[in-house]
């Protein structure tokens, strides 16, 4: 478990030699293979630094000990669990309920704008679940609508 102070990270799965980007983390984000922390099983995800980074690492075992010692730490743990749950559900809903164009439009607004500003285009396309060519077509189509 960690907390990003500076820099950016990419989270991805690898299937049949192909990377599937699932999330990006920036400053002031918690970062973790949370399921691995909870289950104690090896993680299926890879987290890659995409720039020079500064982050704080919290061994999950130490956090569990703190949870046992204090209600304040238990609250902290609940907030972290809620944080990861919200991110996971938002991502899942986007993939299941939105078109690639809808997912692209979501990146243009709100707190996801950082992705468009800082992440290379081929990783953005991968995150959207499309090819770079498809993303280019979406961008061109949206530009023509303006």
CB 13 within 8 A of CB 39: no
CATH of domain 1-97: 2.60.120.10
- Would the CA dihedral through 70, 76, 82, 84 be positive or negative? negative
Domain boundaries along the sequence of the chain: 1-97, 100-146
Can you read off the two tokens belonging to residue 40? 């104690």
* pLDDT for the residue 54: 97
pLDDT at 146 over 80: no
Contacts of 22 (CB under 8 A, 6+ apart): 11, 12, 13, 45, 91, 127
- At 21 the pLDDT is 96
Per-residue pLDDT tens for 80-120?
A: 999 999 999 999 999 999 999 999 998 888 678 889 999 99
């Amino acid at each position: 478990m960690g907390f990003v102070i500076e820099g950016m990270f990419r989270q991805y799965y690898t299937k049949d030699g192909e990377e599937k980007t699932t999330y990006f983390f920036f400053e002031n984000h918690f970062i973790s293979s949370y399921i691995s922390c909870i289950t104690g099983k090896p993680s299926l995800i890879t987290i890659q630094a995409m720039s020079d980074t500064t982050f704080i690492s919290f061994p999950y075992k130490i956090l569990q000990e703190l949870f046992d010692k204090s209600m304040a730490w238990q609250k902290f743990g609940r907030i972290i669990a809620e944080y990861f749950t919200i991110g996971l559900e938002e991502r899942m809903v986007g993939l299941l309920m939105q078109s690639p164009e809808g997912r692209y439009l979501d990146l243009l607004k709100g707190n996801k704008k950082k992705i468009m500003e800082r992440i290379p285009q081929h990783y953005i396309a991968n995150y959207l679940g499309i090819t770079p060519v498809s993303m280019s077509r979406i961008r061109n189509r949206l530009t023509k609508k303006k």
